[in-house]
Chains A and B, each alone.
Chain A
Amino acid sequence: MRSASRPGVQWGNWAFGAALVLLMVFTLFPFYWAFVASLTSDAALFRDPSLWPQHLIFDHYRALFTERDFITPIRNSLIVAGTTTIFCLIVGTLAAYALARIEFRGKAAIMGFILAVTMFPQISIVSPLYLLLRSLHLIDTYPGLIMPYMTFAMPLTVWVLTGSIRQIPKDLEEAAHVDGATRIQSFTRILLPLAVPSLATTGILTFIYCWNEFLFALSFTLGPERQTVPVAIALFRGQYQVPWGEILAAAVVATAPVAAMVLVFQRRIVQGLTAGAVKG
């Protein structure tokens, strides 16, 4: 929270404003356009695309859920992203507590290792994971997606949570110890309640990453039964041409929950994202 404006960075307020407006248009236009187009008939769209909506129809949305069964990928995504997030939060909280609060040899190495894994190119492990899941008959199953998702979700969770636990003053737990609390009591009665907002933020971040994941979902599913939302949308096919109306309707549906979450938790997400990433 800063209330004072930075003195001196007042270069050309006018040009600044104009550039900012332009950037905002660039940022928001694709959403606007997708929304408008998803409510326009294909015929009208291809005849003469117009920036302003003519007559709105909901046909594409109806088709999405009646003809395409878009419910299935949404359910798949919710299950896979939700399970991964919850599992990572549970396991990650323990690890983050240790990394933030317990002194032991090798901690710095573990942090370095976890950071390195977050930068892992996913493609490097597609082949063994495919072979592994195939031999376990897990291709095209939920566990067959949840397990690979841990590769990026777990390091992310641990990293972000460690950063936020470190920001909770340590003397609160020390005060609890002096007051007679055991380590477990100070964890459950002091740290955990205070970490709830961070856990929520981390959960949202992890969920978003899982919800958006594409490469693994594309590699380890076979058909519409287990496809997640991004895969389903990317593989939408029409009989004669690209069914843009439905694709855009699906895009709006897939984006809306994430966008809503981001708007509501904006401040916390920014904190979580940048926690630990940048130090003075």
Chain B
Amino acid sequence: MRKVSRLGHEARLGWSLVAPALSVIALIAIFPLGWTFWESLHLHELRMPWLGKPFVGLANYIEIAKDPRFWAALGHTAFFTVVSISLELMIGLFLALAMNRVFRGRGFVRAAVLVPWAIPTVVAALLWRFIFESQGGIANALLVKAGFLQEPMVWFIQTSTAWVPVILADVWKTTPFVALLLLAGLQNIDLTLYEAAAVDGANAWWQLRHITLPLLKPAILVTLIFRTLDGFRVFDLIYVLTGGGPGTSTEPVALYTFNALLQNLRFGYGSALSVVIFAITFGLALFYVRGLGVRLGGDES
């Protein structure tokens, strides 16, 4: 009995120290999530208060399934996520390998690369929007001067060209984060492995393929999971850069949901969209953790 009470004391102390943080999270993150689901089962139009808030079951979800704008938004989100993450992983891997070497100015590179990560996404989006402005944009000026363009073009009026600044801005802003995660992984690799391989006569390419990449795989997967989930909730960047336009042709799901909620004040439908996004994100995370066996840090005990 004695031991039980002693263990009980430790557990009580542990839980009571964790309790404030947990209850904050539960109160403002988990409880609202449940509320979102509850809302999503109702017709709730703040613009039309006379309709009340009738229970409509899965009607909102059925509407989503038939909503072409939602499916388009989902496509945009997936396109954005896949393209930007592919680029970020490639450039990030290069940067990580670079920062892991010793050269003059490495400290400078590491600091410089961190700044885009640290500034507000809104600011990053504005910087790139300004670079790609049709009038006075430096991108046009340089491309015309270099002979790639006949005359200044309007980047944001065509879907295909509107994606260019969006992707560029995301790559610019997020690659540092990717590079840092990968760098942390690289620094966990035992240096003597390279020495052993070099003594055995392996060239640099062989070492990259057979030592670096396999041992970096966990770090790459962790990066992939973080970035995929980030990509699926992209909002700030596109809100500022294109506003989802032209039309709704670059609108991601988060922006569509935001518009449904706070522009059109359709809380029932918007909540249903929120639940769908959450479910997709959750599914993706589950897929990574279960399917690919990503091991996230911290679960040592």
Q: Which residue of B lies closest to A261 (CB)?
A: B118
The minimal Cβ–Cβ distance linking A155 to chain B, given in whole angstroms, is: 6
Contact of B24 (CB < 8 Å), options: A125, A150, A214: A150
Q: Which residue of A lies closest to B278 (CB)?
A: A124
Total count of chain B residues near the partner, CB < 8 A = 114
Known: A34-B130, A117-B29, A163-B298. A273 touches B180 (CB 8 A): yes
Question: Which residues of A are found within 8 Å of B13, using beta-carbon distances?
Answer: 98, 102, 104
Contact of A263 (CB < 8 Å), options: B111, B125, B229, B301: B111
Contact of A151 (CB < 8 Å), options: B29, B115, B257: B29
Question: Which residues of A are found within 8 Å of B203, using beta-carbon distances?
Answer: 8
Decide yes or no whether A274 CB sits under 8 A from chain B.
Answer: yes
B21 lies within 8 A of A91 (CB): yes
A24 lies within 8 A of B39 (CB): no
Decide yes or no whether A239 CB sits under 8 A from chain B.
Answer: no
Decide yes or no whether B93 CB sits under 8 A from chain A.
Answer: no
B21 lies within 8 A of A92 (CB): yes
Decide yes or no whether B123 CB sits under 8 A from chain A.
Answer: yes
Stretch of B62-70, B78-86, B191-199 at the chain-chain interface: B191-199
Decide yes or no whether A82 CB sits under 8 A from chain B.
Answer: no
A43-82 vs B: 1/0 string, CB under 8 Å?
0011111110000000000000000000000000000000
B172 lies within 8 A of A26 (CB): yes
A9 lies within 8 A of B17 (CB): no
A-B pairs with beta carbons under 8 A, tally = 330
B277 lies within 8 A of A121 (CB): yes
Question: Which residues of A are found within 8 Å of B10, using beta-carbon distances?
Answer: 102-104
A230 lies within 8 A of B122 (CB): yes
B29 lies within 8 A of A104 (CB): no
Question: Which residues of A are found within 8 Å of B229, using beta-carbon distances?
Answer: 119, 121
- Of B101, B219, B225, chain A has the most CB atoms within 10 Å of the CB of B101
The minimal Cβ–Cβ distance linking A198 to chain B, given in whole angstroms, is: 15
Q: Which residue of B lies closest to A276 (CB)?
A: B297
Question: Which residues of B are found within 8 Å of A108, using beta-carbon distances?
Answer: 299, 301
The minimal Cβ–Cβ distance linking A51 to chain B, given in whole angstroms, is: 7
A95 lies within 8 A of B123 (CB): no
Decide yes or no whether B158 CB sits under 8 A from chain A.
Answer: no
Question: Which residues of B are found within 8 Å of A196, using beta-carbon distances?
Answer: none
Complex Cα gap A262–B111 (Å): 7
Q: Please list 7 pairs of residues, one from A and one from B, whose beta carbons are closer than 8 Å in the complex, sorted by A's number.
A: A9-B207, A154-B25, A219-B262, A248-B127, A270-B110, A279-B218, A280-B218
- Since A8-B203, A270-B114 are in contact, a sample of 11 more A-B pairs with Cβ atoms closer than 8 Å, ordered by chain A residue number, is A19-B94, A23-B94, A27-B115, A30-B116, A49-B138, A103-B14, A106-B15, A127-B270, A155-B25, A270-B183, A276-B297
